[in-house]
Amino acid sequence: MMGGGKGGIVPPYEGLMINGRLPEDPAVFDVKKGERVRLRLVNPSSATTYHLALAGHRLTVTHADGQPVEPVEVDSLLIGMGERYDVVVEATQPGAHTLLARTVEGDAPPARAILRYQGSRQNRPPGGQVPEGLRGGRRLRYADLQSARSLPQPLAEAGAPDRTFDLRLSGGMMMSRGEWFIDGQRYPDADPLEIREGERVRVNMRNMSMMLHPMHLHGHFFRTGGILKDTVLLEPHMGRASFDFIADNPGRWFFHCHNLYHLHAGMAREVRYV
Ligand SMILES: [Cu+2]
């Protein structure tokens, strides 16, 4: 069975879940008016990037991939496979509200949970409630984020890299449905990205395909824009991303798309210290 119609084969799912619960029987998070509530968002899905918002509330982003950032208030955010965000919600709106996470690719019904205020007469949000933040407002962009700590030297400086990889991400086209490439190669028939200890390594990526790719590096945090992350989501249709990391953890490390069926179909490389 195929779905999505975005140039790739999207695996079919019975349903999308928050905390292991289907939308018909959602997780309920109880809060009290006046509390500040931290939602720790983790996307462990195999092949689903979510657009997420909470009805009646804004989200203050405080951490990206576990790294502290200057707080940014948004109405919604995208979270790719492997990404993590911590957000703080000010509980000032008694009642019951829908937390909704819509798939960006494919057409599975959204994942859903409920934020319920203690003592509220309203036990369930109105059926079919869609948070305002999924219809408009401010959606988090990486460019909005700045590290709350000074970045480790020498990543703090905008220094020139010792080594640069320019990588095109492609696949999922008519002739190659189900095949995914990094710079024309499919893992395991792919050259390792060879680096040396102590180097500042830059990776520039361009997405030639029609699907999202959350690209994840093992063993290192990298600098992208003003923050440290280990996973960066590339938008389809010529989306770009770049990151720098310091080669300070010798070994053989995996670098791959966190969409697990893209990974399985070749979208990976080894980063190898030589
Ligand atoms: Cu991918």
Per-residue pLDDT at 177 = 67
Å from CA of 116 to ligand 1 middle: 36
For 174, half-sphere exposure in the C-beta direction (CA atoms, 13 angstrom radius) is 0
Å from CA of 180 to ligand 1 middle: 7
**Residue bearing the bigger pLDDT, 10 or 100:** 100
Q: How far is CA 71 from CA 141, 247, 252, in A?
A: 13, 29, 35
Confidence at 178, pLDDT banded by 50, 70, 90: confident
Per-residue pLDDT at 8 = 53
Mean pLDDT along residues 171-180: 78
Q: Is the pLDDT of residue 173 over 80?
A: no
Å from CA of 97 to ligand 1 middle: 33
Q: How does pLDDT run across 232-263, given as a tens digit for each residue?
A: 999 999 999 999 999 999 999 999 999 999 99
Which of the 8 DSSP states describes residue 36? Answer: E
Å from CA of 243 to ligand 1 middle: 17
- In this structure, are strands 268-273 and 193-195 parallel, antiparallel, or unpaired? parallel
Select from 96, 94, 112 the least CA-distant residue to 53: 112
Other beta carbons within 10 angstroms of residue 64's beta carbon come to 25
Å from CA of 182 to ligand 1 middle: 10
For 82, half-sphere exposure in the C-beta direction (CA atoms, 13 angstrom radius) is 20
> What architecture (CATH level 2) is domain 27-144?
Sandwich (2.60)
With beta carbons less than 8 A apart as the criterion, state whether 62 and 147 touch: no
Confidence at 211, pLDDT banded by 50, 70, 90: very high
Mean pLDDT along residues 96-111: 95
Å from CA of 209 to ligand 1 middle: 9
| Mean pLDDT (the chain, rounded) | 94
Å from CA of 268 to ligand 1 middle: 9
Å from CA of 39 to ligand 1 middle: 26
Q: How does pLDDT run across 16-57, given as a tens digit for each residue?
A: 999 999 999 999 999 999 999 999 999 999 999 999 999 999
Per-residue pLDDT at 158 = 87
Per-residue pLDDT at 106 = 85
Which percentage of the chain shows pLDDT scores above 70?
95
Q: What are phi and psi of 122, to 5 degrees?
A: -80, 120
Distance CA 134, CA 242 (A): 27
| CATH fold match for the domains 27-144 and 163-273 | yes
Q: How does pLDDT run across 59-88, given as a tens digit for each residue?
A: 999 999 999 999 999 999 999 999 999 999
**163-273 adopts what CATH topology?**
Immunoglobulin-like (2.60.40)
Q: Which two tokens stand for residue 175?
A: 């002739």
Residues 26-50 as b/e (b if ≥16 CB within 10 A, e otherwise) read: bbebebeeeeebebebebebebbbb
**Residue bearing the bigger pLDDT, 162 or 2:** 162
- Nearby residues of 271 by Cβ (< 8 Å), 6 or more positions away: 192, 193, 195, 217, 218, 219, 252, 253, 254, 255
Q: Is the pLDDT of residue 174 over 80?
A: no
Å from CA of 34 to ligand 1 middle: 41
Q: Is the pLDDT of residue 1 over 80?
A: no
In the chain, where the domains are located: 27-144, 163-273
Distance CA 250, CA 83 (A): 24
Per-residue pLDDT at 28 = 97
Per-residue pLDDT at 10 = 72
Å from CA of 122 to ligand 1 middle: 41
Which percentage of the chain shows pLDDT scores above 90?
89
- Nearby residues of 250 by Cβ (< 8 Å), 6 or more positions away: 197, 273
